Structure formats: C-alpha cells, structure tokens
Structure 1
C-alpha cells in the first residue's frame, strides 16, 4: 500500500524527553533509591514505551551523574557524594549567576511579581515542612530569570546538573535553616527590582553555592 503523505509525525523528541524527565524525577524524589539496579525492560514496561527511549534516557542520566552505567551489564542509581554535589553546585551556581546578569535589564514588573509570589509559597511550604511544594516554588522563582535570559546553552547545562542538587536540597529544605533561603530570595528580588546587576548576580550565586555538604 502507498505510504500516506499527510500523516502527522510522531514527536520522538517529546517522547524521549518525557521518559528522561520521568526517570530523573523518580531518582530525585527517592522512588529509585541509591544502589538500586535499573533494567531497561522493566522501566519500559512501567512507562509503557519501547526500550529505545529508556536506553537514551539512561545515557543522559549517566552524563548527569544520577546513574552509573556499565554497558552490557547493569545500570544503578548513584549515591550522593560530597564531590559530586560540590561539582554540580559550582556549575549550577555559575549558570544562575549568568542568567541573572543577562536577565535583570529585561525583567518586567510581572516577572518580579511572579518571583515574589513563588517566594511566598516557598515560605509557606517551609513552614508546613512540605519539601515537594518548597522545591516546586523554588523552581518557579529561579526559572523566571532563566527564561528571560533565553540562553539555550545555559538552560541545557542547568537541566543536566540541577537534578543532582535537588537530591541534596531535600536535606536543606527539611532543616531548620531553610528559611534562610527565603530571605536570600527576597534579597535577590529586591536587587533585580532595583536593577542592581552586580548585587543580584552575587546573591544568585550565593543562593546556590551554600548547599550543605553530603553527610
């Protein structure tokens, strides 16, 4: 039979990215524990996809340091290490510093209001000891300058290394010192509103470079 010429294309990239994000989130939230072995056939059945996007996702997760892959043998979830967190932290902090530097001049009042509202939710989540809500609000706040900066290379680096920090951040957001993060958010928003680029990027870098060491 002739091949139809007007059939809609399957968005392979969307499927690949969705599988990657599902597996990444399952590692970050602890669904898959450190040391747990991940089999592509089991993951494919769980997600209802073929093994190909799962294998591609596992390769990306290995590049981010979330899994350790041994070709032809096994793939396991890595444990958090002080060195791994420190390396990811330094890269992510530098990327957020760059994002703020590029974004401050273009931030609108609506953007600043979005950041303020996110920080209000962040404070409320910390008070309620709701780590998931705190992380979601933190993501929304920091996503504003990243989006305004519109730097694809920067976004790619953050997508790769931020998940490593998210695992460590659960320790910080569960601690009594978590409110200090909300205070730094307030300082960042004020600096952005005042168009003080130097101060804003210093605060942005400091916010991400103060993650606790892994015990």
Structure 2
C-alpha cells in the first residue's frame, strides 16, 4: 500500500495538542475563572473545533489539577488550592534542579545568550507590570536549561505541573518581588557560564521552591 501524502493521525494529534494548550492558557491567565463551568459543546464552538479534542483536553487538564470533573454532574475550572500549588511547586523545583544539573555542561554560547536576552525581556516586563509578558519571558529563560538537558521525561513532568504554578503566580503577580527574581536569573546565568552545574542546580531549585503558595487575598 502506498504511503499517504498526508497523515490524518498527525493532524489529529496537532489539533488535540493545540486545543489543550488554548484551554490551559485560558485557565492560567484567568479567561476561564476558578469555579467556572466547562461545557464541551460551548468550548468546541468557541475554539471552532469538534467536541472530541475538547473532551481529550479536559481529561489532560484534569490530570494536571486545573480542571475538576464530577462524573454525571459537571466539569469546572479548579479553584486555586494551596496544597495543589505547593505540590506543583515541589515537583517543578525538583525538575528544574535536575535540568540544570544535566543541562549546564551541555550549554552552548548561543543558549547562554538566549538566557541573557530572556532575562532582559523579563526585567522590562516587570518594570511595566506586565504579568503575561513577564511569565512568558521567565518560561523562555528556564526553558533553555530544560531543552539543554535533552530529557523528554523532565519536559513532560514540567508540562503537566507548571501551569498550576503559573496560574497562582498570575493571580499574585504584583505581590511577588520580581526584581529579586531578575537578580537570581543573572546569578544563574553566571553559574551556567562558569560551568557550575551543582551551584546552578541549587539556585534553580531555590528560585522555584521559594515561590509563595498562599492566597494573595488573605496574606
């Protein structure tokens, strides 16, 4: 049998992943608010897709703790639960520490320059109090080491748990000392440039594990 010129299975996979990311990002940035009811038909109409990729995306979001499904009743956006955020923080910190330990010896000069540029964008964003741009730049900064570690397992775990943490950060963005984060970014770059994998690993862990997890409205 001739090999088809196109791959429907690949197209379905790309669509499924795209729908997942769109819903995930809408939850993280607050477009879909905590406690909001999620109806697959309405979401499918909003995204311009069928219900199948939406249902698959909601299952994945449930696994990461961003969505709560009650069989036979309803599916809602999960509330920002302190225990869930703490658990996500612990996992994410451990994964970034491991990524630094593995990735630092493999970093290229271009990747180090990418970290510097990402930190410059991060600094500009926090000066402008632009939470979305700051978190995007922070992701780009830390992704350098994650990519450098060349570990699909680390990347997969981070993809599952980081959104829980990012949503909490978005809600409490103005209460976090972001300028201190920019300084720690610079310190991490220096450790990476010096080839100090263990020092970079310890700092990466601290950067993530020191993030507060309480409700910003009650602190």
Q: TM-score scaled to structure 2, two decimals?
A: 0.93
- Aligned residue for 2:57? 57
Q: Give the SS at the match of 1:174.
A: helix
- Aligned residue for 1:189? 189
Deviation of the 1:171 alpha carbon: 4.3
Which runs of no fewer than 5 residues in structure 2 stay unpaired? none
Whether the 8 Å CA contact 2:28–2:170 is kept in 1: the answer is: no
Q: Give the SS at the match of 2:213.
A: coil
Deviation of the 1:213 alpha carbon: 2.3
Q: Give the length in aligned residue pairs.
A: 213
Which whole-Å CA distance do the structure 2 matches of 1:186 and 1:201 have between them? 14
Quick check: 168-177 or 125-134, which moved more?
Answer: 168-177
Q: Give the SS at the match of 1:43.
A: helix
Deviations 1:69-105 (A, max 9, x none): 0123210001111101100000000000011111000
- Aligned residue for 1:6? 4
Query: Which structure 1 residue ranges, 4+ long, deviate > 2 Å from structure 2?
Result: 4-7
- Aligned residue for 2:32? 32
Deviations 1:146-192 (A, max 9, x none): 11111111111000000001011124532361111111111111101
Distance 1:172 1:189, change over 3 A: farther
1:133 aligns with 2:133: yes
Which runs of no fewer than 5 residues in structure 1 stay unpaired? none
Whether the 8 Å CA contact 2:99–2:149 is kept in 1: the answer is: yes
Deviations 1:115-169 (A, max 9, x none): 0110011111111111111011101000101111111111110000000010111
Q: Give the SS at the match of 2:185.
A: helix
- Aligned residue for 2:177? 177
| Alignment of structure 1 residues 1-215 onto 2, 5 Å | 6-10=4-8, 11-175=11-175, 177-215=177-215
Which whole-Å CA distance do the structure 2 matches of 1:168 and 1:208 have between them? 13
Deviations 1:34-84 (A, max 9, x none): 000000011111111111111110000000000100123210001111101
Whether the 8 Å CA contact 1:126–1:173 is kept in 2: the answer is: no
